[in-house]
Structures are given as structure tokens and as C-alpha cells.
A and B are shown apart, each in its own frame.
Chain A
């Protein structure tokens, strides 16, 4: 944790409300996100109890398994969930745009993509787990399921995996998204409770954030946001209702389970939409659009794979696949971090504290300084910045600047609160600098040793989505026959 984030938490304690960690929103928010809240039966790895889902805050769909241990009911539920989710996802594939690529065939990319918003990281993990437990099912054979079930499984798996890609917004966990933008006066562990996190950020009238957060810890006031249910609820309410259903299998008993579950999900439903509202109120950062473009590209590529009948995602990454995936993630992570810093002075502030970035005022500039002769002559302006920040960049380090995103400068010298830089990239080919290309004396500037690395153009599907049928690494474990028959109990 940076000193800045720590200070923000301290201030949250003092003021009783959450403090901003960002001035702009760093995740994409769809015009029509789908909120999805899954609940799991306690003690089971992948036994869904219920899901509340929908794109309209006023009309949640509630799907319930009245006896989560009954496999037929479970697959019925999976088919129902597919009935809610797949039309939403498939609807996004309809409108496409043609993306031209240099040196490659143009391809079609969806102009929009699905966005699933779940309450917390645990729910996102459960989505992955649901994907794992359904994607190998078959529509024929001994344990046949509805044909939509394996398709649902592949989509859930895809979304779950894509969520681990830094900067992706296809599957968002509300707690994570909020924590990226606000610091509370409690610990990270407690921030995992959505109700308490929202309480800090947006307390009800007449209450401090701290009070609202405490109240949110009472499962009787705010049921947990899942995927686990409150044990007290399990023992006192749910267990008798399920038992009654088990004994009678009547409509009325099923309705009782349903109502019990609804009592837990209704408040969470409102809460997640409140979280969406809080995020919506922030203006989107410039980098959001390009990252969403990458999401759309990845989404389109996966949809195409599915349409071509690719087999379900393998159970494990091959050793080679895992390593390259890790490297890709790391690259994506550092480029995402850099983008956010350049987009947002508050994020940049963290780098200023560590000396990787500094802000100050230009005290001297030689805009038309050049190096080399004849055709090799290049504009290499010198700029000197006075700063009060603790600069920790060595001469020779390459820097970027949020004020001129295309430029790069090299540190020439650091001495006595003054940094002299040479602009080495982005000066164009002219004999003299175009007006405004070089900061003038008196201009406030910020430089950072963070380079927005060359991202694979968003037009290309992300490499992790390259199907092995198209030259990707072959799966080490081809989907085994048993997977379609393995019990789901």
C-alpha cells in the first residue's frame, strides 16, 4: 500500500467518509450492464442456490434451486440461467464494425460487448466455477442436459478468465471497482463486504460512513452479498424451507424457498445498482475507451471461436501456455498502471511519492535545440523543471508526460530540485519546434518513468483468446469423456 493510499485511509477515519483515490473512472461502464448475484449452497463447491440477474434495476430475474443437492434441479437451473444470460450476450454480437489491419485480413468486431457486474471477488470466482461445472456437459448421452448449458459454461469460463486480464471490464466485481476509486477508513479485508464499502462511500443521510459500515456488518440488516449465505439464515430459515420442499415437493414449498432466498437477494440487488450509480457519477478516463475496445475485440474473437465449434476450454493451461499467459498479464498490468497514471493526477501522485514521477514548473527551455548534421539533424529540445518532489530517476532514464502523451524525454541531470530533460521522441521532422510542442517557461508539467508500452493494437484479438485450432498452444489435457458425465453433486 502506498503512503498516499494509507493517508487517504487515515483521512477517511478522521472525516468518517471514504476519500477519493481517483479523479476519473478507470473502468468501462456499459449503458446496459447485467447485474448478476450468485448464491452458493454452503459446504458445496459449485452447487448454486440462486441467482438474481438482469439489466433493469426495476425488474430482477430470480432463479432458485429449491433443493441444491438435486442434480436434475441444478441442470434445470443452469438452463434457466442460460436463458437469461445467452440472449444478452448474443444480442451484443449483432452490430459489428470492420477493423482494418496492416498486413492482415480485416475482421469484424462487435460495436458493444456484454458487461456482467457481480458484487465481489468471491462471486466472480463462483462464476468461473459455474463455468467449469457446466462447460463439459453434453446435450446427448447418459447425463444429457439442455444444449444451452455447455454454451453457458463456455461463456462463464471465458468471462471468468477475461476478468483476470488487467483493465478488462467484461466481468466486474463491484467491491474491486469501488476500491480502485475510493479509500475507506477500514481495512481491505472489511472492504470485501460490499454493503460496508458502499456505506463508507455513500452513507445514508444522518449517518457517518463509519456508522453505516458497522451497520452493514449485521447480516440481519444487510444479508451477505454472496456467494456464501449467512449461516444464521441457513440454519433458521433456509434449512427448514428446503426440508419442507424435500418432503412435499409442492409448489408452495418451492415458493417458500424462493421467498426466503429473495429476502437475502433483494437488498444486495439494490446495493449493486447503487455501486453502479456511484461509478457512473465519475467521468470516464481517456484510456477506458481503448481498453474497452480491446475487450470488444476479445469478445468478438471468442464468439467466433464458439461459432466455429471449438472444444470447451481445457481444464488446465499447458505449462507453456501458462507461462506466456503470465508474461502477457504482466505486460498488460504495467501498461494499465501507466495508462491510469497518465489519465489521473491522483494516480500519478503515488508515483511522485516514490520518486518515479515528479511535477513542477518549467524554468528554462531550449525548444529549437538540435543534434546531428544534415539529414541526421534532429530536434532535441532541453527543458529544465523545478520541482519539490523527491526525484529518484537516474540520468538516461526515459520519461513520459501526461501533458504530451506522444513525447518521450531523457533525464540529462538532476540537481538541487531541478531536473534537466532532453526531449527525444515525438518532436516531428521540422527544422524548428511547432508552437506548443515544447513546454514554455512557467508551464506546470509532470514527468514519469512510466512508459505506455506498445499495446498490441486493440484490433487484434488478445493472444490468450487465440484458439488452439488456429495455431495456439494445444491443450495438454484434451477434454475427457468423463467430464460430461462427472457427477455434479
Chain B
């Protein structure tokens, strides 16, 4: 892993939270992202230093709202959550235990908190009854390409009939039984990270990992009131995607080996607090690793504006999105596609069909327009 440390330079690796881990799977084909993430490079700072700051920001209103809703669900020992689980899963009245795993004296470091979570979950898994039903503020962990990521879920793991479920609290509304599909999908991806972390832990402890259910409990406000409502969401697909991407990241070594020795994305600050690295040098370094830009990057990756600019510079058809690329049968650049359309470029091996279509499209467009 020394190689990854060189790539990152003398700054601590950027910790991954569940959202970041879930986002790893957003563009699985991109080597640039895989390498930067594996090395724990701060992509946001990289993008800013390159002069292409990421277009993301979070509104304070949304954060406040999210916190307030979570507090409401969890107040009085998760009383509201308990009501929801009794309705949703038929949790018996006797199962009303609540343990705040985060309630430890002082401000213990993450590994100690994780140990505590581990010990209590181990005990709970070994016990026959469901005495400690709700576990609030567990601290889980997951290995990401050799680095330990601690996951501080706003979730609760609870036991019912010997099985653990992950609860994810989100403040987007479910109106008349429907929520925005992208938001539900994002919540499912995030919860899948927790499921995986919890399963890994049970396995390490010698318990059956499948005791962690693939059905997570999503808690959202219902309609326009603050009253929470719970829904079961199957995250098997998200788990599969996540596993695949994590496996890819452990294989990132092969990509890294092919990179020139000494390559680094070092962002160590100079005396003024800004990264000391000359921008041109950093740009060259980033360009050494192949990207696979797609417009979806615009909502998932800090480097999006940089990669888009790069794709535009190459005249890549990636810019126009997957649908256009599909319609173009994978022709890589705008010039090539237009050349095929006006006949100035002879189709290469396997391009005859798309060339014919493009020429026809050119003719028909001219006739009709």
C-alpha cells in the first residue's frame, strides 16, 4: 500500500463515510476515481486546486431539517421508532430494550467505540432473547482498499427473532406512499454499506453473517407532517454492486502498477495554507489516470467539471451522455462521428453499420430540415 501513500502525498487519507463508499459504485468503470478513492485523496480539494471546484453544496436548511427529524424519531429511547417497528414487523411489546452504544464516558477514540459496539453486538448475537432490541449509535467499520473506514451511522441496528436489521432515518417525505425514487435509491445504497459492515463484523465474530437482514427499515416523514413512517427496502442489489466495487478497489493495485513511478496527487499545504503543488503539475498527474466521464458524474463525483472539460477537449462523445453514445454505436469522438456522417471518413472495421446510419441521418436531416 506504500504506493497508494505516495499517490496521496504526506497528508492523512480522507476518511470514507457511508455516503462516500456508496458513491464509489456510481461510476464503476472509472479508473481515475478508483485510484483516487483507494489512495484516500481529497477529490474535492483536488478539483478546487485544479480550478474546477465541484458544484456541490448542502443547504443549511436541509441539514437542520434532517437533524430535527432524526432527533424526533430517536427521542425518548426511540419511542417513535419502536411504534413503527411494532406495526411494520410485529415486534412484540416485550422487546423494548434500548442501548445507546455511543453513550460512553469521555470522548473515546473511534476504535474503542467500535470495540464497544462489537462486544455488545457479539453478546446480543449469542443471547437467546431479544432483550437489547435497539442499538443506537453503533460504530461500524469497513476495510476500503487497505484503509479502515469507521462508519458512524445515524442508524440503529435492532434484533427481531435473532435477526438484525439496519434502520436508516431520512428526512425526505413519503407522500401518499411515494417518495422520490432517486432519494430512496441513495438511501438504499447507503444502508447497504451498513449491512455489509455489520455482516462483516458478525462473520469475524463467528456468527452467521446472514443474520443481518437484507431488508432495511427506511424511516421518513409521512406526507407533510413530521410524523415518521417506516418501510422495508430490499438492498440485495445494492449489496451486490457494492461488493463488486470494493473488490475492484482491492484490485486497484494493477492499475496503480501501470502508472509511472513517483506519480503523486500530493496536496500538502504550503505556508499560505493552499496546496503548494503547481496546478499544471497536478493536472498532468491526474490526467495520467484514465477517466470515464459520463454526465452522471455531475451529481456524483467532485472531479466532474475537470473531467468534463477534459472530455470536451478531446471532442469525446462521452459528453453527450450514454443514450447518445448508444445511438452512435460507441463512436468515440464528435469529429469521427461527423466524418462518418458526411462520408469524409471511411468506416473502420465494424463501423459500417453505424456509418451507413449516420450518412442516412445526414441526408434525411438535410432533406427534412
Chain A positions within 8 Å of B, measured between CB atoms, are: 1-11, 13-14, 20, 23, 41-46, 129, 132-133, 185-190, 217, 229-232, 234-235, 238-239, 315-316, 345-346, 348-349, 352-353, 359, 388-390, 486-489
CA distance A10 to B327 in the complex (A): 11
A10 in complex: contacting residue of B227, B295, B296, B337, CB < 8 Å: B337
List 7 A-B pairs, minimum CB-CB distance, nearest first.
A43-B62, A45-B173, A43-B65, A231-B57, A187-B321, A42-B59, A187-B295
Q: Which residues of B contact A346 (CB under 8 A)?
A: 365, 368-369
B336-369 toward A: CB 8 Å interface, digit per residue (1/0)? 0110010000000000000001101111110111
User: B98 interface residue, CB < 8 Å from A?
Assistant: no
What is the interface size of chain B, counting residues whose CB is below 8 A from a CB of the partner? 52
Can you list 16 A-B contacts (CB < 8 A)? A3-B361, A4-B365, A5-B327, A6-B323, A7-B358, A9-B320, A45-B224, A187-B319, A217-B55, A231-B58, A234-B61, A235-B57, A389-B364, A390-B360, A486-B224, A486-B225
CA distance A343 to B109 in the complex (A): 70
CA distance A359 to B364 in the complex (A): 9
CA distance A217 to B320 in the complex (A): 16
CA distance A42 to B59 in the complex (A): 7
User: B226 interface residue, CB < 8 Å from A?
Assistant: yes
Q: Which residues of B contact A2 (CB under 8 A)?
A: 327
CB distance from B316 to the nearest CB of A (A): 10
CA distance A46 to B367 in the complex (A): 48
CA distance A118 to B4 in the complex (A): 49
Q: Judge whether B224 and A6 touch: CB under 8 Å.
A: no
Chain B residue, CB-CB nearest to A242: B61
Q: Which residues of B contact A190 (CB under 8 A)?
A: 295, 298
A13 in complex: contacting residue of B296, B299, B319, B341, CB < 8 Å: B319
Chain B facing A: main interface SS: helix
Q: Judge whether A489 and B226 touch: CB under 8 Å.
A: yes
Q: Judge whether B176 and A132 touch: CB under 8 Å.
A: yes
Query: Given A45-B172, A187-B295, A187-B320, is A23 in contact with B369 using a C-beta cutoff of 8 Å?
Result: yes
User: B185 interface residue, CB < 8 Å from A?
Assistant: no
Within 8 A of A (CB), among B10-47: none
B64 in complex: contacting residue of A9, A43, A129, A189, CB < 8 Å: A43
B58-78 toward A: CB 8 Å interface, digit per residue (1/0)? 111111111000000000000
Q: Judge whether A45 and B61 touch: CB under 8 Å.
A: no
B367 in complex: contacting residue of A3, A10, A186, A349, CB < 8 Å: A349
Chain A residue, CB-CB nearest to B64: A43
User: B326 interface residue, CB < 8 Å from A?
Assistant: yes
Q: Which residues of B contact A7 (CB under 8 A)?
A: 337, 341, 358, 361-362, 365
Q: Which residues of B contact A133 (CB under 8 A)?
A: 223-224
CA distance A42 to B365 in the complex (A): 44
Q: Judge whether A232 and B57 touch: CB under 8 Å.
A: yes
Q: Judge whether A1 and B327 touch: CB under 8 Å.
A: yes
Q: Judge whether B175 and A132 touch: CB under 8 Å.
A: yes
Within 8 A of A (CB), among B295-349: 295-296, 298-299, 315, 317, 319-321, 323-324, 326-328, 334, 337-338, 341
Q: Judge whether B295 and A189 touch: CB under 8 Å.
A: yes
Q: Judge whether A43 and B320 touch: CB under 8 Å.
A: no
Q: Judge whether B320 and A6 touch: CB under 8 Å.
A: yes
CA distance A387 to B175 in the complex (A): 54
Q: Judge whether B59 and A235 touch: CB under 8 Å.
A: yes
A189 in complex: contacting residue of B221, B296, B341, CB < 8 Å: B296
CA distance A231 to B59 in the complex (A): 4
Q: Judge whether B338 and A10 touch: CB under 8 Å.
A: yes
A14 in complex: contacting residue of B57, B328, B334, B360, CB < 8 Å: B334
User: B171 interface residue, CB < 8 Å from A?
Assistant: yes
Query: Given A4-B361, A187-B320, is A11 in contact with B338 using a C-beta cutoff of 8 Å?
Result: yes
CA distance A4 to B361 in the complex (A): 5
Q: Judge whether B360 and A389 touch: CB under 8 Å.
A: yes
Q: Judge whether B65 and A44 touch: CB under 8 Å.
A: yes
Q: Judge whether A14 and B324 touch: CB under 8 Å.
A: no
Q: Judge whether B338 and A14 touch: CB under 8 Å.
A: yes
Q: Judge whether A188 and B321 touch: CB under 8 Å.
A: yes
CA distance A188 to B324 in the complex (A): 10
CA distance A190 to B295 in the complex (A): 8
